[in-house]
Chain A
Amino acid sequence: MGTILCATRGGEASYRTQDRAIEIARERGDKLLFIFVSDINFLSHTSAPVLVDVEGEMENMGEFLLLAAEERARNAGIEAEHVVRQGDFREQLKEAAKEYQVEMVILGRPGKEGSVTKLQMLEELVKEIEQELGIEAVIV
């Protein structure tokens, strides 16, 4: 049994990604590893003081979102685990893919509005993962 790494968050767009990842895992007989990468770059757009352990709060929130995804997969009969990382999305995803020796990486197509993740960036990332790591990567 191999492992599929699926980058996800919450929200409608992410639920679609999770459902598709569950389908693929079922077809291939693999288990799922959900990953949430938190970055706090948005704090650079504010002039107000930031006195909170934002990274810790984001990590807790990420754990919760991935537990929900994991539960979704388990309810569909798919074995699932999760990992929360902090920092640059591209780098953290590639590192996790190497570390967990995954066989496939699944990325969700950006939602219709407001997402800071752009499709072009994901397409470039897919190429990077395939060329640098030799791992199959898809946008669903």
Chain B
Amino acid sequence: MRTRDHLLGILVTLGMVTALLGFGLLFGAERAVGQSASSWSVTGRLIDPQGQPVSAATVRVYVDGDDEPIEAETHDDGTYLIDLPRRPERSLRIEVERSHFRPVEYELDVSGMVPDEEYNALRAPDLTMERKITAGFWIATAAFVLMLTLIALEVLHSTVAALLGAAIMFAATTLGYVLKADGLIVLSMERALSYIDFEVIFLVMGMMIVIGIIEGTGIFQWLAFAAYRVSRGRAWLLVIVLMLITGVASALLDNVTTMLLMTPISLQIAIAMGINPLSFLIPEVLASNIAGISTLIGTPTNILIGSYAGITFDDFLINQTVGVVLALIVLIVYTEIVYRKEYRAASGGVSGVLYEKMRQNARIKDPSALRKSLIIFGVMIVFFVAGEGLHTPPAITAMVGATALLIWVEPDVEKMLKAVDWTTLVFFMALFMVVGAIQEVGLVSYIATFLADLVGDSLVTGLLILVWFGAILSAIIDNIPFAAAMLPVVGYLTQTIPGAESKVLFYGLSVGAAMGGNGSLIGSSANVVTAGIAERAGYPITYVRFMKIGVPAMFLTTGAATLWLLLRFFVLG
């Protein structure tokens, strides 16, 4: 039975990897179909005012004034290739239509034109399609704002809120098809699926299994307890060690898991030392939010940014770690000043019964599983770092690592597969669709244009706006949908601002989205779960109490990280 369960788990995981590869092949194959070898054809490209490709637009070509057009759709890169029935003698009239864009007509004089050698096609110039504000624009914008509001106010679970946003888009689209109202067509299912970043989905899924196995070993609780013993009642020292453990764990796993594991044991240690547990918990969660951004897998926003911008695990390590370390040093100094009275008041005394209970709660639950997990996780880190050279995307490393852990550690497979939080994966998929919809209707383009006008050619201004605007907004709204919506905006700014090809703006987005989480209790999921556990233990963290500590911490640490980005990209180059 046990063997069968394991085989099932392995097969499921391998199935996921195969599916992932399948998607790659599928999309690869789709590209190949567009390449025609017809004797006469016409090719061209559609772009929006920001120079971004316009996909899924209908292109109609009339040869020499014919009444019947030849029709095709543009590909993801905005290109089209249309086979012509005969050699055009005089001209080709090209008509282009696309929801949320003004139609374009172009007359191509073909006399004397020589076909493109690669495709044997007449090459039409790039056509720019101007955006048009439609009813669909307002519906998609309203649905997006509604989703953010429902999540921020905790009216609906974030997954339900994202699904509701997607459902509104689809309802408008259906209505658009029924009423033949082009402006209402926001997002077809086919387009919606094309916006889902499956690399993100599979990376998150793989890491969930890996984390599910590692967390069960009790390593973090054991480390926290070891720190308690080593500190010998010196609370000022213990909090530094706890912040460092939390920071490293957040960078390698994820913030929420880290805080779910660290909060209960930290609470017990603080009570045993006779000090207010919040003087440990708040610094820990602040450190967790900061340190997560030093790796690709440390925060969901980094996973999104990495996948979109092609920023690798080692890119994040190289470009973010120093900033994170600086921010942590600032945070440690700040913490020691703010909580100096609490730390001095530590009594350090605990009864034998309570000490034994704490020791028991912090024991390594499965030493063998821990040893195996650490070996495989170490190999995974090597592959994350060397992934680009080995042509191994992070999603593959995560899925193969998860499979290896399932085979070697032999955990309860059903339990481990249940550890995959499908709610979160559905949230990501719905979120991708909603963000896709606001891209389709042009909201992202308008924001990008506004920011580009504001910033001009100044990369420093662009960086500062992204970091600080991101930080303040992330303190108010969920940073995952914010980052997801900002990705195409930052992508556009990266193309238009001189010098931005270093991807510094994406790092700025990463810093702002993560460190802004320290500005309010709802700024990050790690804050929410920490406050939840602390409240259950009788130590509530109120919004005001958190902000009193968190807001100055946010400004100080974001400032430190910004300084590093300026130094790294503008001084060191």
The residues of B that contact A116 with a CB separation of less than 8 Å are 535, 540
Say whether, besides A51-B215, A60-B361, A45 and B261 are in contact (CB < 8 Å): no
Q: Taking each of A14, A40, A64, A68, which has the highest tally of chain B beta carbons within 10 Å of its own beta carbon? A: A64
Query: Number of B residues whose C-beta is below 8 Å from A?
Result: 52
Per-position 1/0 for A10-21, Cβ under 8 A of B:
110110000000
Per-position 1/0 for A48-72, Cβ under 8 A of B:
1111111001101101110110010
Q: How far is the CA of A61 from the CA of B421 in the complex (A)?
A: 24
Closest Cβ of chain B to A68, distance in Å, is 6
Find out whether the CB atom of A113 lies under 8 angstroms from the CB atom of B539. Answer: no
Find out whether the CB atom of B261 lies under 8 angstroms from the CB atom of A49. Answer: no
Say whether, besides A42-B529, A58-B264, A65 and B537 are in contact (CB < 8 Å): yes
The residues of A that contact B531 with a CB separation of less than 8 Å are 42
The residues of B that contact A79 with a CB separation of less than 8 Å are none
Q: How far is the CA of A56 from the CA of B177 in the complex (A)?
A: 51
Q: How far is the CA of A45 from the CA of B152 in the complex (A)?
A: 9
- Find residues 159-191 in chain B having any chain A CB closer than 8 Å to their own CB: 159
Q: How far is the CA of A63 from the CA of B419 in the complex (A)?
A: 25
The residues of A that contact B537 with a CB separation of less than 8 Å are 9-11, 61, 65
Q: Answer yes or no: A120 CB below 8 A from chain B CBs.
A: no
Looking at the complex, which one of B204, B424, B536 makes contact with A58 (CB distance below 8 Å)? B536
Q: Answer yes or no: A131 CB below 8 A from chain B CBs.
A: no
Closest Cβ of chain A to B397, distance in Å, is 18
Find out whether the CB atom of A52 lies under 8 angstroms from the CB atom of B261. Answer: yes
Per-position 1/0 for A111-130, Cβ under 8 A of B:
10111100000000000000
- Closest residue of chain A to B424 (Cβ to Cβ) is A49
- Closest residue of chain A to B531 (Cβ to Cβ) is A42
Q: How far is the CA of A44 from the CA of B427 in the complex (A)?
A: 13
Find out whether the CB atom of B268 lies under 8 angstroms from the CB atom of A64. Answer: yes
Say whether, besides A43-B532, A64-B358, A114 and B525 are in contact (CB < 8 Å): no
Say whether, besides A39-B536, A48-B255, A114-B542, A61 and B419 are in contact (CB < 8 Å): no
Q: Answer yes or no: B545 CB below 8 A from chain A CBs.
A: yes
Find out whether the CB atom of A46 lies under 8 angstroms from the CB atom of B528. Answer: yes
Per-position 1/0 for B239-275, Cβ under 8 A of A:
0000000000000001111001100100110010000
Q: Answer yes or no: B107 CB below 8 A from chain A CBs.
A: no
- Closest residue of chain A to B536 (Cβ to Cβ) is A38
- Closest residue of chain A to B478 (Cβ to Cβ) is A47
Q: Taking each of B268, B532, B538, B539, which has the highest tally of chain A beta carbons within 10 Å of its own beta carbon? A: B538
The residues of A that contact B102 with a CB separation of less than 8 Å are none
Closest Cβ of chain B to A35, distance in Å, is 13
Find out whether the CB atom of A48 lies under 8 angstroms from the CB atom of B254. Answer: yes
Find out whether the CB atom of A54 lies under 8 angstroms from the CB atom of B260. Answer: yes
The residues of A that contact B256 with a CB separation of less than 8 Å are 46, 48-50
The residues of A that contact B353 with a CB separation of less than 8 Å are 67, 71
Per-position 1/0 for B511-538, Cβ under 8 A of A:
0000000000000011011011101111
Find out whether the CB atom of A46 lies under 8 angstroms from the CB atom of B538. Answer: no
The residues of A that contact B264 with a CB separation of less than 8 Å are 57-58, 60-61
- Closest residue of chain B to A37 (Cβ to Cβ) is B536
Q: How far is the CA of A50 from the CA of B528 in the complex (A)?
A: 12
Closest Cβ of chain B to A112, distance in Å, is 10
Q: How far is the CA of A58 from the CA of B533 in the complex (A)?
A: 8
Q: How far is the CA of A116 from the CA of B421 in the complex (A)?
A: 26
Find out whether the CB atom of B254 lies under 8 angstroms from the CB atom of A49. Answer: yes
Q: Taking each of A11, A48, A58, A61, which has the highest tally of chain B beta carbons within 10 Å of its own beta carbon? A: A48
- Closest residue of chain B to A12 (Cβ to Cβ) is B538
Find out whether the CB atom of A67 lies under 8 angstroms from the CB atom of B357. Answer: yes
- Find residues 338-380 in chain B having any chain A CB closer than 8 Å to their own CB: 351, 353-354, 357-358, 361
Find out whether the CB atom of A50 lies under 8 angstroms from the CB atom of B536. Answer: no
Find out whether the CB atom of A52 lies under 8 angstroms from the CB atom of B538. Answer: no
Closest Cβ of chain B to A42, distance in Å, is 3
- Closest residue of chain A to B358 (Cβ to Cβ) is A64
Q: Answer yes or no: B320 CB below 8 A from chain A CBs.
A: no
The residues of B that contact A49 with a CB separation of less than 8 Å are 204, 208, 254, 256-257, 421, 423-424
The residues of A that contact B204 with a CB separation of less than 8 Å are 49
The residues of B that contact A53 with a CB separation of less than 8 Å are 215-216
- Find residues 531-569 in chain B having any chain A CB closer than 8 Å to their own CB: 531-533, 535-542, 545
The residues of A that contact B216 with a CB separation of less than 8 Å are 53
- Closest residue of chain A to B522 (Cβ to Cβ) is A45
Q: Answer yes or no: B41 CB below 8 A from chain A CBs.
A: no
Q: How far is the CA of A54 from the CA of B529 in the complex (A)?
A: 10
Find out whether the CB atom of A57 lies under 8 angstroms from the CB atom of B261. Answer: yes
Find out whether the CB atom of B271 lies under 8 angstroms from the CB atom of A64. Answer: yes
What would 18 A/B residue contacts be, using CB atoms closer than 8 Å?
A: A38-B536, A42-B536, A43-B532, A45-B154, A46-B528, A47-B159, A48-B300, A49-B257, A50-B260, A50-B421, A52-B215, A57-B264, A58-B264, A58-B536, A60-B264, A68-B271, A111-B540, A114-B541
Top 6 A-B pairs, shortest CB-CB distance:
A42-B532, A114-B540, A11-B538, A9-B538, A47-B158, A49-B421
Given contacts A46-B525, A61-B536, A68-B354, 19 further A-B contacts (CB under 8 A): A11-B540, A42-B529, A42-B535, A43-B529, A47-B159, A47-B478, A51-B211, A51-B419, A51-B421, A52-B257, A57-B264, A57-B533, A63-B361, A64-B268, A64-B358, A65-B538, A71-B353, A71-B354, A113-B540
